Structure 1
Amino acid sequence: MATPKKLTSRSTPIGGLLLFDLPVHADERGWFKENWNRRTMGALGLPDFGPVQNNISFNARRGTTRGFHAEPWDKYISVASGRIFGAWVDLRSGPGFGTVFFTEMSPGEAVFVPRGVGNAFQTLDDNTAYTYLVNDHWSAEAQAEYTFLNLADATAAVPWPIPLAEATMSAQDQQHPSMAGVAPMKPLRTMVLGANGQLGSALRKVFADLDTVDFFDRAGFDVTDSRFFDQADWRKYATVINAAAYTAVDAAETPEGRAAAWQVNAGAVSHLARTAVDHSLTLVHVSSDYVFDGTAEIHGEEEQPSPLGIYGQSKAAGDAAAAVAPKHYILRSSWVVGDGKNFVRTMAALAGRGAAPSVVDDQWGRLTFAEDIAAAIRHLLGTGAPYGTYNVSNDGPVQSWADIARDVYRLRGVDPGLVSPVSTEEYAKPGMSPRPRRSVLDLGRIKAAGFVPPEAQVRLKEYVQGLEP
């Protein structure tokens, strides 16, 4: 008995199209092969594509030729019996459109075909069985999204071993358009929820150059209403960015606020995570330093949540829910500044009036400008960084709120000495939520992923200079 070859993977000229050499164990009884293994093949580059349906195409006669069909899902294909000549054409919009690859396959080979790559094959033996796993369920609606190419297209110029004039083909396959008549398959889209908030506004700017991002405010998609989940066409999307959140930290301590905080920050995120699992979506969720009690000098991604107040508890619960989605990015931020009402705007307005505020000087952290959270999100998605939790604040020296207030006064040309430091206990008012004393986030992981946040002082100067006098 011959020694079976080793499991290996090979790239091809078509982006994402991977060939696998499969060990086939044969003896006098026949053969056995491990056709698909999520763990070992994943280590060789096979995406964790989440197959939900297994199909088999049985072909009785040598010369049976099928395709080119580019389907709106990923496929993992192998041969169960016989041999085929396989051909693939990139029919996705983009610079790779029209790229061709072909090879012969037997039970010892398999191929991963990304969404939008046209798949075709010709049987070289009688009684050939062609099997494939797909990561979406077939439906008439899904079939309407297929992209086709004629098997005899002169541009693709596939060297079919058996001339097409002698092959067995369906009438439908013979009527597909040539390359010039193909409408390329568009990429899957990104959905942004909470698009009118501080982060949502920043995301609109960061993704302004793309026409594949859909922005929804609460009227367009209310994350607390299951009807919006039921009505959404999730097949169009690859990614959901959740910028919707309940952020009224002190109001969360009231009976009404407590319910609202949990509904938006935990319940809605749980619904999004279930949806991401069901439709193989990437879920991007934004968290907060409030999930910590602030006793650590610096907070790493692996620190266990220990929230002090209702708001922090609801955010910690949302983080746990979001992490259930296999493909998730949780971005943990601190002291967020963006469009709309925030601490920096308040201090700038007070400076403009020459006011002398009392500002807490025993809570420590760094500002996070919404534009940099948005830029980090685009970076993680665009580079395919490992899934998981990333701390994202601006870089630079650790400061207290009083330090930042003085910087704002200075940038406004007002005496920073007007800002009086006060302790948390002295500043506390009835009904206030407890705050973490230290909100400093370790930025090592996001930097290792290739995104280096600008220093907070640089962003603060730009922000204050952009405010009206």
Structure 2
Amino acid sequence: MTEFGKGLVRTETNIPGLVVFDLPVHGDSRGWFKENWQREKMTALGLPDFGPVQNNISFNDAAGTTRGIHAEPWDKWVSVATGRIFGAWVDLREGATFGAVFTAELDPSRAIFVPRGVGNSYQTLEADTAYTYLVNDHWSPDAEYAFLNLADETAAIDWPIPLSEVEISAKDRAHPRLADVTPIPPRKILVVGAAGQLGRALRAEYAGADHVEYATRADLDLTAPDLESARRWREYGVIINAAAYTAVDVAETPAGRRDAWAANATAVGALARIAAANAITLVHVSSDYVFDGTKDAPYDETEPVAPLGVYGQTKAAGDAAAATAPRHYIVRTSWVIGEGKNFVGTMASLAERGVDPSVVDDQRGRLTFTSEIARGIAHLIDSEAAFGTYNLTGGGQPLTWAEIAREVFTLTGHDASRVTGVSTEDYFAAATAPVAPRPRNSVLDLQKIRATGFEPADALDTLRRELIR
């Protein structure tokens, strides 16, 4: 019998992400009414905002109708419309809880959220039972399922009505035992811009992870008009945008300006639309160039942007676009050093070749190695940190470019006094091509990401390891 007058209550189960909800049902002599799905109230209680796109109804004529244990590649919200069911859920996802079982009875006053990869089965306890389920992907013949036999000895489900006495399809009777089930992997992570410095660092960070895919521009053109149909996007849980136009000086030219806006703003907007439509987490990498560098203290995540040049303007626009995705991490960094041509490598080469460089000494910031950015991105994703913007640079004391150059000279066994400090104006005085304006203060406050449990490695310690190894 349906219980009237209960409050909306969330109850965790032994299967991660599988959550039971008691629903308020209001009834009188005429019948009853309930809010079957109320996004604002249920997300306030911690239910994922899973974005349902399809509503299905299963009607069952007789008590004892039993439907097989199916794990679909989407999330489900299951609620009884009339009658009563016994439900059995088995975790068929990769991980420590593979094979975990939870059972419960559901009537119109109870519902359950079933995350992707958790097998679900229902046995009706009354005739004319109907239950509804909202799902956050459209049915597809190409979707990959996992199945478990209803009589599996390891799961050992205690069915109220013995399986020998109920209606079961021949297909459900033929499903495999747990030992033969292939666990469902997590939703895929897609790294775009995989050929760049950060892309290569992300390959190293996720080495051996089968659910991570990599795409270069040749594989996936983010400016193509058919981007939204280029993949079955519902299979992805995260997109990491490691693609960017970073030629800050060339961006000041007519051709460079077009390319910078296309890569750093338009493409990000396209990814944000895909992320929003498919409940994907978008990770976007930003830059200290979104600030003008006039502040005399570190920039935190709440500071209004004020870019000086085209590159900074396009990155600020990309940040605004990325923020339209409900699930987003904007990772703001500075002074990036990665595999390939970079400032550290250039200084080490000059030191070895006996060249005494003049290096800018009126810009201040922290080096950030791409390995550190990759580690921080993985941390935000794995820890399920609150969505939003996070500063992520190397730790330690801020330095000028000239001070970093002297460190490179010293660490490679050369005389640091060979490095001469000069102003930005003097350094670029003889330039014949356009020069982008640089922020003088590129120091980013790191308290927010530290609060998530991530401790940025000291930039100089990382520099020493990179040069001495």
TM-score > 0.5 by shorter chain: yes
Q: Secondary structure at the residue paired with 2:142?
A: helix
Superimposed CA distance per residue, residues 296-349 of structure 1 (whole angstroms, 9 cap, x where no aligned partner): 221111112111100011111111111111111110000001111111111111
Q: Secondary structure at the residue paired with 2:77?
A: strand
**C-alpha deviation, 1:12, in angstroms:** 1.1
Which one-letter code corresponds to 2:56 in the other structure?
N
Q: Secondary structure at the residue paired with 2:298?
A: coil
Q: How does 1:382-461 map to 2 (within 5 A)?
A: 382-428=382-428, 429-430=431-432, 431-461=434-464
TM-score by length of 2: 0.96
Go from structure 1 to structure 2 and tell me whether the alpha carbon gap of 1:237 and 1:3 turns closer, same or farther (over 3 Å shift): closer
Question: 1:238 aligned to 2:237?
Answer: yes
Q: How does 1:258-337 map to 2 (within 5 A)?
A: 258-296=257-295, 297-337=297-337
Superimposed CA distance per residue, residues 429-465 of structure 1 (whole angstroms, 9 cap, x where no aligned partner): 3410001111110100010011110111111111222
8 Å contact kept, 2:151–2:157: yes
**C-alpha deviation, 1:176, in angstroms:** 2.0
Q: Secondary structure at the residue paired with 1:244?
A: coil
Structure 2: 5+ residue runs without aligned partners?
A: none
8 Å contact kept, 1:202–1:371: yes
Mapped partners of 1:179, 1:414: distance in 2: 63
Q: How does 1:57-72 map to 2 (within 5 A)?
A: 57-72=58-73
**C-alpha deviation, 1:229, in angstroms:** 4.8
Superimposed CA distance per residue, residues 70-105 of structure 1 (whole angstroms, 9 cap, x where no aligned partner): 111000111111111111111122222211111111
Superimposed CA distance per residue, residues 149-192 of structure 1 (whole angstroms, 9 cap, x where no aligned partner): 22222222222112222222223222222223322222221111
> 1:112 aligns to what?
113
8 Å contact kept, 1:354–1:414: no
8 Å contact kept, 2:4–2:109: no
> 1:198 aligns to what?
197
Mapped partners of 1:415, 1:89: distance in 2: 65
Mapped partners of 1:323, 1:229: distance in 2: 18
Mapped partners of 1:307, 1:424: distance in 2: 17
Mapped partners of 2:233, 2:283: distance in 1: 15
> 1:126 aligns to what?
127
8 Å contact kept, 1:50–1:280: yes
Q: Secondary structure at the residue paired with 1:140?
A: coil
Q: 168-177 or 368-377: which moved more?
A: 168-177
Q: Secondary structure at the residue paired with 1:191?
A: strand
Which one-letter code corresponds to 2:85 in the other structure?
I
**C-alpha deviation, 1:3, in angstroms:** 6.9
> 2:349 aligns to what?
349
Mapped partners of 1:184, 1:460: distance in 2: 41
Which one-letter code corresponds to 1:306 in the other structure?
A
8 Å contact kept, 2:71–2:117: yes
Mapped partners of 1:20, 1:221: distance in 2: 41
Mapped partners of 2:323, 2:98: distance in 1: 35
> 1:34 aligns to what?
35
Mapped partners of 2:19, 2:354: distance in 1: 65
Structure 1: 5+ residue runs without aligned partners?
A: none
Q: Secondary structure at the residue paired with 1:285?
A: strand
Q: Percent identity over the alignment?
A: 60
**How many residues of Structure 1 are paired with residues of Structure 2 in the alignment?**
464
Mapped partners of 1:149, 1:114: distance in 2: 16
> 1:137 aligns to what?
138
Q: Secondary structure at the residue paired with 1:438?
A: coil
> 1:11 aligns to what?
12
> 1:207 aligns to what?
206
Q: Secondary structure at the residue paired with 1:121?
A: strand
**C-alpha deviation, 1:228, in angstroms:** 5.3
Q: Secondary structure at the residue paired with 1:137?
A: coil
Q: 160-169 or 291-300: which moved more?
A: 160-169
Which one-letter code corresponds to 1:69 in the other structure?
H
> 1:155 aligns to what?
154
Q: Secondary structure at the residue paired with 1:381?
A: helix
Mapped partners of 1:406, 1:358: distance in 2: 11
8 Å contact kept, 1:409–1:415: yes
TM-score by length of 1: 0.96
Mapped partners of 2:371, 2:40: distance in 1: 37
Report the RMSD for the aligned CA atoms in angstroms.
Answer: 1.6
> 1:89 aligns to what?
90
